[in-house]
């Protein structure tokens, strides 16, 4: 969040919306989370979906 929003302040509501959307995409698909084995959350989610 800090790198995306605070270091690059948005130029209005639409820009803020786009930056938040991009960060959520990054957070869920690319950012590795140490609590879940250093993998992105989407990877865990889809593995569980395939197992069901």
pLDDT at residue 46, rounded to an integer = 72
pLDDT at residue 6, rounded to an integer = 82
Q: What is the pLDDT of residues 3-36, one digit of tens each?
A: 777 888 999 999 999 999 998 888 878 787 777 8
Give yes or no for a contact between 25 and 41, defined as CB atoms under 8 angstroms apart: no
Q: Where are the alpha helices (DSSP H) in 1-52?
A: 13-29, 41-51
Please state whether the predicted TM-score (pTM) of the whole model is above 0.75. no
């Amino acid at each position: 969040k800090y790198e995306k929003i605070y270091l690059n302040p948005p130029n209005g509501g639409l820009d803020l919306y786009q930056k938040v959307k991009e960060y959520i995409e990054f957070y869920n698909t690319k950012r590795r989370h140490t609590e879940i084995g250093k993998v992105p959350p989407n990877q865990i989610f889809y593995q569980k979906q395939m197992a069901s």
